Structures are given as C-alpha cells and as structure tokens.
Structure 1
C-alpha cells in the first residue's frame, strides 16, 4: 500500500511526514525523566532503593503515589508557572521579558502594604507601612493595586518596544533593574508582613495550583480561539505581514506585555500571600525559570510557535527535574549548572527542530 494518497488539485499527503504533536513529545519526555530518577533511586548505593514518586505503604495515603512529593512538585512550579503563562505569550509574539522576576519582588512589597492587618496578637502591627487608613482593607484592594502596578510596568515595556524599536531584551533588562530598585526603595529594604486573613487565603494550601490551572485553561482558550491569540501568533510569525494584513502591531505588543506583567504581579500576590510576608529579594531567577518552562514546553524563541499546554507540561518537567535533583541529593550549585545545561539543550533542540521542519517543507 502506498504511503501517500492523492488530495485536492493533485496534491499528495505523505504519511511519512506526519509528526507527533509537540505536546505529546514533552509528555513522553516527562515520563522518561521520572523513570530516570526512579532508576537512580534504585542504582545509587546511598539511596537505599528509595522511590521518587511512589510509596508502596498504601496505608499512609491510600495510594501507591507519594502524595507529599507530588504536592511539593506542583506547588513549586505553580507560582512561576503563572509567570510562564505570560512569558509564553510574549515569546510567541516574537519578544522576551526579563523583568518579570524583579516585578514579583516590587509588586509583592507594594501589595502587602495594602493587605496588612491592624493588630498582631492584640498589639499594633510592628511592620506597618502606612497609617490606620491602610489597615484591614478588603482583599480586592491590594489585588487591584497589584494588577494595576503590573499593567503599568507592562505598558512601559510594550510602549518602549513598540514605539522606540528598542530590542525587547534591552527594554526589559532596564525594567529588570528598575523593578529591583523599586522593591528595595519601597520600605528601604525592610520586609512587610502580617496580612489580613482574606489576603492570606489567596495563597493558602493548594490555592497556588488552583490559580495556575485556572489561568492556564483561560489563556489556552484565549490563544487558540480568540482574535487576540491569532494576532499574537501572526505577529510572532511575520511582523511585517501581520502589519500589512491590518493588525495594529504596536497596540497589540503593548497589550501582550501588559498581560504578561499583570500575570507576574498576580504571581507576586499569590507568593506573598502564601509566605505571609513580602521581601525585596522575592522573584530571584523567576524570569529565567519562567522562560525555561516555556522553552522546554516547545515555545520557539524566534516567535510564532508554542502553546499553553506545552508550557504547563514544560513546568511539570522543570518541577520534576528540580525535585529529582533534590531527591538524589545533588548539591545546589550542581543543580544550577544542570538547569542551565537543560535550558541550553532545549534551545538547541528548538533550533534543530526548526531546521528539520524547513528542510521537509
């Protein structure tokens, strides 16, 4: 039987050129990584035959899965994953955002200032930033403040890139330093603590995972089934062609960066709520980890290709690798080296994939 069939206009469909969906490849890679760490647990002599994700004492949780470790993995990636959803859209549009990590620190400091409770164990709040008017505000107030700050930073990033033609790398690198400076200036480096119960609920328990999954579903729909998504892919694929087709490229770029920064600000809200405090150093390396999740998930750094599903799977791969290194007791400095190697390998793989795709077409 022939490998190709006749199509409309004499075109032929070649079965040999069919490819797995990229998301499926990432899922298989995730399974393979889990199996590798499971094998290391059995092979390495100091591991004493431990299992990474399985716990055969079913009386503990009623399942053979190691629920505690699974929760840790998911919680580890959920907050950075929220940032990665925004970074994914930026990269698909042909840009990059290096400011999201410091933005988390700055937004956390600002937001927590509006989320403080007046009394701590019956005494006045020792970490108060403002006066009585800012105590015990409804939880919606700090949330709106945080999202507004994120939108403001994103609008600056997008405007610089869209109207001055500054490379996204330089524009967001400058904002990286500005946001880090804002975080340190806001309270002169002092942490801000003691939020209200309503604010603390936003990041309690497994809520970070709930927010991450809800936002992932939302932006998967937005990118795949709305005009916004179609324009984002079009600009990333060919900006000149998108402009000639009637897309307002400048306005859309500003919108993309605003959404990405608002997601980073929301990640700051969830993080500060989870930790019950805000510190200037929050968000360190988050921008790089978010980019890594997107790239591992198949988002092309040249723009025009990628998906939210891929980024979610990339986040899981990132989380399993990070947890796996801790599981086999790899020192922290080796972990950073390994993660850097993985990021470089993901980019090299993306470049190879693009070249082979062009050679087949």
Structure 2
C-alpha cells in the first residue's frame, strides 16, 4: 500500500479580468479602445443679467420717447421752450417717483394698487400738520412716514396674512382714501407756508427741484437694483421665490421691504404734490396707481416679475408725460391720448410675451 504524503498547499493568486463584450471586439476579435465615460454634469451655470440685457429691454421705450419728442418738436414751436420743459419736468417727476417704487413691487411679481390713495393721504396729512403750526421738515417727514407705514402693512398682509398682492393693496386703496376723506371732511387744506411751496416749485441753477429729486430717486434705485445684494434678492424673488428661499434669500423680508419702499416713495410723491399745488387735496392721486403700472410696463418691466429697471420705469413715465404735454400743446382730445397710452401698454406686453416665448423655445 503506498504511503500518503501530506504536502502544504501552494498559495495561488487569482487574476481576474473583464472579458470584452461583443461590441468592444473588432472584426478580427481585437478589443477596441474604450471611449472615456463622460464626466458627470454639474449644475448648469447661472445666467447673469448684464447691462446689455437691461439696455435691451429699455431700448424700445427710448425709441418711442425719441420718436415722440421728434414729432412734437416739428409739430409745435412751444414744445422745446424753457417754460414748457420746466412744466413737463414737474409733471413727470412725481409720476416717475411713484413708478420707480411700483417697479420694485412688480419685480417681485407683485403689484401695489394703493400708491395713489397713499399719495393723497400723505399729502393731505402733511398739509394739515403745517396748517396746525408744525415746522416744515417734521411735517414733511411725518407725511413720508405715513406712506412708509402703510407700505409695511401691505407687505405684512402679503407675507403674513398670505393675501394676494392685488387684494391686499386694493383693500389698502380703499382704506387710505377713506381715511383722508374723513380727516379732511373732503375739503381742500389751504394756507400752506411759502417755504413749503418753494420745495417743489423752486429751482437750482435753473433746474426744477422736482426733477432733481426724481433723478436722485431713479439713480439710487438703479444702483440698488444693479449693484447691491438686495437688488439681486429682489430679482431672485421675482424669478422663483421658492428657489430663492432654498438659496438663503430672506423672501419675506425682501417682499416687505419693497412694499415699504413703494409706500415711502408714494408718500414722498404726495408731499411733493401738495408742495407743488400749495394745498392738500383729499382726492389727489386718483388713478395714479394705473399710471405708475403703465409707466413700468412701457419702460420694459414684466408683470410676471424679475424683468425691468429703474431707468426703464422713469423712461415710461417720461413717455406718458410727453404724450400728455404734446396733446395739450396740439389741442388733441385727451380721450385719444388715453387710447394711445393703452395701445402702448398692449404693444409693450405683447413684445414681452413674444420675447419670453422665443427664450423658452431657444432654451
């Protein structure tokens, strides 16, 4: 019987390799070189809004403005006179201030229907303070403060009570107008000091004070929207509030702030209008909210939010002012001017919708 000899097992190493598949074999059964796998795609780069984009939205309004100025210059010898341009500047300035405030709300996809009534309440209240003997600057600050407080209330109704902006500001429109009619007994407040009237009717180096104030407001809002974090927050909220919230944007605070600024500028407009007229008129500002919205839309703003600029809103207000002023010089029926402004609004919104569809198709 043979002897059984125990041997230690020899350690072996198994080498495994992936067998090439049929798709990787060439016609001669030679493995093909594998194509590198595509790297995982990261987040798509965000589109940055440039000055060129903003200028593109404003260009239509600027063209309309230049055409209107050219036509009126040829049609009327009085259009380019110093007195007429000064009156035009005073008329447009207040609309421009309100339109810039309205623009901030529209950029967040909201709307403020109360600016006209807030303007009337602030102006009449300031006039009452002055008639009661209050110094000019404290009365002025109180009038602007009233508008700011009402704007904050609008923001709270939208963000805390979760009311639609249309309903919240429509309610404030009625409340503010009712308060001013009750407090003034629907009577004009007269007897304002000459120093207060000089604020809106005075000039600096021949330039009307109202135009200077409107230019400062427009310049400050342009800087805020295009050069500050708060401005980027406003556009982000108007583009997609939920995405903005997830990105760390304080959506509620931004929304309240834009309504507060809109109320502040409406209050400032009311104080300046009372100074210009030399009286506090309880019905002042009726319909101004529609004019402010129209100026924003004509100037390139989108009612769906996140599109528009302060310069565009001011341009829209200037277009409306030029049309009204030219209509008066040429003795054109004011009803025809309303039709023309309505057509401009429809054309502006139509172009905005067309551009939106083209962008969606290209994307």
TM-score of Structure 1 vs Structure 2, range by shorter chain: 0.7 to 0.9
TM-score, normalising length: structure 1: 0.80
1:113 is the counterpart of 2:148: no
Q: 2:259 aligns with which of 249, 257, 276?
A: 257
Q: 1:88 aligns with which of 95, 103, 110?
A: 103
SS at structure 2 position matched to 1:192: coil
1:321 is the counterpart of 2:323: yes
Unaligned runs of 5+ in 1: 1-10, 12-17, 42-49, 54-64, 117-133
1:189 is the counterpart of 2:224: no
Partner of 1:267: 269
Cα distance in 2 for partners of 1:256, 1:250 equals 10
SS at structure 2 position matched to 1:115: helix
Cα distance in 2 for partners of 1:321, 1:355 equals 31
Partner of 1:79: 94
Q: 2:158 aligns with which of 158, 161, 164?
A: 161
Cα distance in 2 for partners of 1:242, 1:346 equals 28
Indicate if the aligned counterparts of 1:27 and 1:313 stay in contact, CA closer than 8 A: yes
Structure 1 residue 271: deviation in Å? 0.4
Number of residue pairs matched by the alignment: 307
Partner of 1:28: 63
Partner of 2:307: 305
Unaligned runs of 5+ in 2: 1-44, 46-51, 203-207
Q: 2:200 aligns with which of 189, 200, 203?
A: 203
Structure 1 residue 38: deviation in Å? 4.8
TM-score, normalising length: structure 2: 0.80
Structure 1 residue 237: deviation in Å? 0.8
Structure 1 residue 26: deviation in Å? 2.1
Structure 1 residue 152: deviation in Å? 1.3
Q: Deviations along 1:227-253, whole A, 9 cap, x unmatched?
A: 211111110011111111111111211
Q: Deviations along 1:198-229, whole A, 9 cap, x unmatched?
A: 32222123211111011111111111111211
Cα distance in 2 for partners of 1:204, 1:51 equals 24
Q: 1:272 and 1:220, CA in 2 relative to 1: closer, same or farther beyond 3 A?
A: same
Q: 1:182 and 1:331, CA in 2 relative to 1: closer, same or farther beyond 3 A?
A: same
1:149 is the counterpart of 2:184: no
Cα distance in 2 for partners of 1:182, 1:145 equals 16
Indicate if the aligned counterparts of 1:80 and 1:289 stay in contact, CA closer than 8 A: yes
Cα distance in 2 for partners of 1:36, 1:204 equals 29
Indicate if the aligned counterparts of 1:79 and 1:208 stay in contact, CA closer than 8 A: yes
Structure 1 residue 52: deviation in Å? 5.8
Cα distance in 1 for partners of 2:213, 2:248 equals 35
Indicate if the aligned counterparts of 1:52 and 1:324 stay in contact, CA closer than 8 A: no
Report the structure number with the largest CA radius of gyration.
2
Structure 1 residue 82: deviation in Å? 0.7
Structure 1 residue 80: deviation in Å? 1.2
SS at structure 1 position matched to 2:110: coil
Partner of 1:220: 222
SS at structure 2 position matched to 1:177: helix
**For residues 227-266 of structure 1, what are the structure 2 equivalents within 5 Å?**
227-266=229-268
Partner of 2:116: 101
SS at structure 2 position matched to 1:280: coil
Cα distance in 2 for partners of 1:173, 1:110 equals 21
Cα distance in 2 for partners of 1:356, 1:74 equals 37
Measured on the aligned residues, the alpha-carbon RMSD in Å equals 1.9
